[in-house]
Chains A and B, each alone.
Chain A
Amino acid sequence: MSETSVIEVEGLTKRFGDTVALGDAALRVDRGEIVVLLGRSGSGKSTLLRHLDGLETPTSGSVRVLGEEVPSLTGRRLRALRGRIGFVFQQFELVPSLTVLENVLTGSLAELRGPRLGLWSYPKRLKLAALGHLDRVGLLDQAYQRADTLSGGQQQRVAIARALMQEPEILLADEPVASLDPESSAQVMALIREIALDAGLTVVCSLHQVDLALSWGDRIVGLRHGAVVLDTQASGLSKAEVMEIYGKVVTSTTELSAIEDELTDAASVVEPVR
């Protein structure tokens, strides 16, 4: 086990009934790396990310994150680990009726004991920190607005501020821009990268757009049917090469053309804002 690895996944298999979501998947990520998980819908990206945060228990295999064997953790120790890992979701998952500021503050719950409801229930120190993170994502002026009054792009930036509130060492992002228009997408992706570089964060971000993945990530990990079929540095890699590498793991030509189709339509899909 290398000392620089913050994520070490080996032989990870996850079944949901008859569906094999992950089949013997392996992944190793070093501190400070910015990794893109690429794969089509149903390839297992979300399932893999959820395992890293202990939101899913493996059927078999090992998941080590920040030196901890995740599936073996429970209670306080699991929560402590989750506190060191930020998670950004496709649908933002803010609490709609709370203010933006309080949503950001929920990122600090791991270090607080007991229930919190209302801004007054958080210490001033944390409120200042939260305002600082909101400023970082450019939303200080919206701090006291209800979260559901913001646009999709703004909401995702609030979610990023919430993750920053955890002062995480790892940032996981599950298709963070799949629900956004192209302009907001670009902003959000740029913001994530910038913050990651500033803070030396390790990032694992799933995407389904090949072009975006190539231009944004340092390293591309391709998933297909729950297995890692591609793992390479992104620099200098072209879309055609990605497809070619995908091609090496399949045998028949029909399957190859199916991949071509999936990569093209994955690249062209821009899902509408929720």
Chain B
Amino acid sequence: MSPERIAASLTLVLIVGVAAYAVAESGISIPALFESWGNAERFFERVGGIEFPPAAELAQLTALTLGIVISGTVFAAVLSVPIAYLAASNTTPGRGWQAFGRFVTVLTRAIPDVVLAMVFVLMFTIGALPGILAIGIHSIGMISKLFADAIEQVDEGPRLAIRAAGGSKLQEFTSGILPQVLPSWVATVLHRNDINLRGSVVLGYVGIVGLGMEMSFAFKSLNYSEGLGIAVVMFVLCVLMEIVSSVIRTAMLGVAPSGRGLGDRMVRGVANARARRSGGRGVSAGERIETRAGLDTPRPSGNEPHAASDLHAALRRPWTSTHIRDTAWGWTALAVVVASVAVCDIAWGDLVTFWAKVPEIAMKFWPPNFGSYDAETMLSAMGETIMIALAATLLAVIVSIVVGSLAARNVAPNGTVRGGFRLLLLVVRGIPELILAIVLIVITGLGAQAGTLALAFGGIGLLGKLIADSLEEVSAGPERAVRATGATRAQVYASATVPQGTRALIGHSFYLLDTNIRAATILGIVGGGGIGYYLLNAGQGSNYQVVTSIVFMILVTVLIVEGIAVWMRRVFR
């Protein structure tokens, strides 16, 4: 073992130890859970069921929320193309540009969209624009990171061919690389759109219009029935969006993307599942076989060329089913984007006028200080956030190993068990953890426990699926070898399947920790404990210098965790 591996292993043990301590400290226990179930019943008795806002208002709020989220995602999707171009090592014009691209990627990802929203709300007239920009800028990081990864994995051949034909650098990119990475880009953007919809609730707490704001008003005025009603609407929206985007990813893309990015993995998972259901016949494979058969009978050389009129006729592209499908998807996507922007009723003038306010507002945020809080309070709040993330991750890992294994084809005792657990994971994944947190907080009271539980629950949906997928991807050879020795099912699992899947597990767990740290920082905004509470307070009390110091603490934490995560994934690859 190399010294680096030893160091990494020790760090891993240390992190797990701290996480275990965090779980113990959080006081989550099975009896307590049952007790809070009792709380929930009493709570609902008191509230007397849920209520929805009037239908017209609800429809308008829903449209606005969807509009803001989709516009923001599209904004990020567009900007991520040049950023990824700069950040990818095979397309970047130079080292300096690459460093700049990577810096933008890391920075936009590290600043929570809530913080951006807080700042933008000060700069713009009330409306959709601050929300769109906050979501958009924060999303650039993830989309361009995964997009740059995809660009680095393309086949360089077609691009070389375009260079050889005299194409410019830009043309090499648009004609040779972009078509290859478009499927993974679309998949990533759709995935990000799901995440943004889930996160949009919190933006309402800091003044972004839409369902989230309505919900925060309802809870603040102690109108629990309506608050919960809106929460239910958000649940349903998120689940619907998840279904729509996974349908698009598989149907429109047709071909399973081959990248290693998270987006690709997910799409591939769905596509594989589809292919398996339809008897192992993937969409593209089927088409390929049809066209290969019998068509490779070129006319002998010296053939009669077609008349000019035939060539003119061939200019019109025939309406094959593929062409109809692609065109329909294209126009639908365009219509959705246009409608989203339209429904936001953007005050475009703001984009011109806000620059004048930037210096003045920037001054308010500088220099950073802790205001009336002492450093110790702030540091321990940050510590609490970290503990929430660690505890939630560990809980999720433990449950996911069980659930994920049972959802893997090569581990599950039979198809029914596997199908059942896959479905369970799908449902869990559809439930946005932030809304779960809000509901838990409303029911069981403020505090870290609700936040931890909500994050852990959400983590199971993501991690369980990733574990199931990577277990299914392990090579079957060692399993067969162990089975041949007469080992039991459990023995095969323990000595052949698990060892192969361990690396993937470590990688995925750190990915989850990374996500959870970000999520935990904003949990406090809705009352889930940790630094977020102080962030919201500072923002609402116009203590912007405190906001700056909190953002710095969050940035440092996120970057450290990300650094460790990258290191772990590299060492245990």
Contact = CB atoms under 8 A, between A and B. Distances in A.
A166 B165 contact: yes
Given A82-B164, A93-B157, A163-B165, A153 B298 contact: yes
Nearest to B288: A149
A116 B287 CA distance: 27
A87 B161 contact: yes
Interface string B166-181: 1110110111101110
A109 B171 contact: yes
B320 A116 contact: no
Contacts of A106: 161-162, 165, 167, 175-176
Given A89-B161, A97-B180, A194-B301, A151 B168 contact: no
Contacts of A190: 301
A116 B314 contact: no
B175 A109 contact: yes
A117 B161 contact: no
Q: Is chain B's binding surface mostly helix, strand, loop or mixed?
A: helix
B303 A114 contact: no
A94 B155 CA distance: 10
Contacts of B162: 106, 109
B446 to A, nearest CB: 51
A80 B165 CA distance: 9
B165 A83 contact: yes
Interface stretch (B3-11, B242-250, B305-313, B536-544): B305-313
B179 A135 contact: no
Nearest to B182: A97
A95 interface: yes
Interface residues of B, number: 46
A119 interface: yes
A248 interface: no
A114 B183 CA distance: 23
Nearest to B292: A151
A94 B176 CA distance: 9
Contacts of A144: 317-318, 320, 323
B157 A89 contact: yes
Nearest to A76: B168
Contacts, number: 140
A136 B158 CA distance: 22
Contact of A115 (B174, B180, B310): B174
B161 A109 contact: no
Interface in B155-210: 155, 157-158, 160-168, 170-171, 173-176, 178-180, 182-183
Contacts of A117: 174-175, 178-179
A87 B166 CA distance: 10
Given A80-B166, A109-B168, A162-B165, A98 B299 contact: no
A80 B167 CA distance: 9
A200 interface: no
B158 A93 contact: yes
A87 B317 CA distance: 28
B179 A97 contact: yes
A95 B311 contact: no
Nearest to A139: B298
A133 B226 CA distance: 67
B170 A136 contact: no
B161 to A, nearest CB: 4
Interface stretch (A33-41, A123-131, A228-236): A123-131
Contacts of B352: none
Given A53-B164, A97-B182, A149-B291, A143 B314 contact: yes
A115 B158 contact: no
Contacts of B170: 114-115
Nearest to A195: B301
A136 B170 CA distance: 30
A131 to B, nearest CB: 5
A131 B315 contact: yes
Contacts of B171: 109, 112, 114-116
Contacts of B180: 95-97
A215 interface: no
B177 to A, nearest CB: 9
A55 B160 contact: yes
A91 B157 contact: yes
A225 to B, nearest CB: 25
Nearest to B315: A127
Interface centre among B173, B180, B298, B302 (most CB of A within 10 A): B298
A135 B311 contact: yes
Contacts of B484: none
Nearest to B299: A138
B356 interface: no
Interface in B276-302: 287-288, 291-292, 295-296, 298-299, 301-302
Interface string B361-374: 00000000000000
A45 interface: no
Contacts of B173: 115
Contacts of A85: 164
B18 to A, nearest CB: 46
Contacts of B299: 138
Contacts of B288: 148-149
A153 to B, nearest CB: 6
Contact of A95 (B179, B305, B320, B323): B179
Contacts of A270: none
Nearest to B175: A106
A83 B165 CA distance: 5
Nearest to B183: A97
Interface in B239-259: 255
B317 A119 contact: yes
A166 B166 CA distance: 9
A153 B315 contact: no
A79 B306 contact: no
Given A97-B180, A190-B301, A162 B291 contact: no
Given A55-B163, A151-B292, 9 more contacts: A91-B157, A96-B179, A97-B179, A119-B317, A131-B314, A131-B315, A138-B303, A151-B296, A187-B301
Interface of B: 155, 157-158, 160-168, 170-171, 173-176, 178-180, 182-183, 255, 287-288, 291-292, 295-296, 298-299, 301-303, 305-306, 310-312, 314-315, 317-318, 320, 323
Interface of A: 53, 55, 79-83, 85-87, 89, 91, 93-98, 106-107, 109-110, 112, 114-117, 119, 124, 127-128, 131-132, 135-140, 142-145, 148-151, 153-154, 157, 159, 162-163, 165-166, 184, 187, 190-191, 194
8 contacts: A96-B180, A109-B162, A132-B311, A144-B317, A144-B318, A166-B165, A187-B298, A194-B301
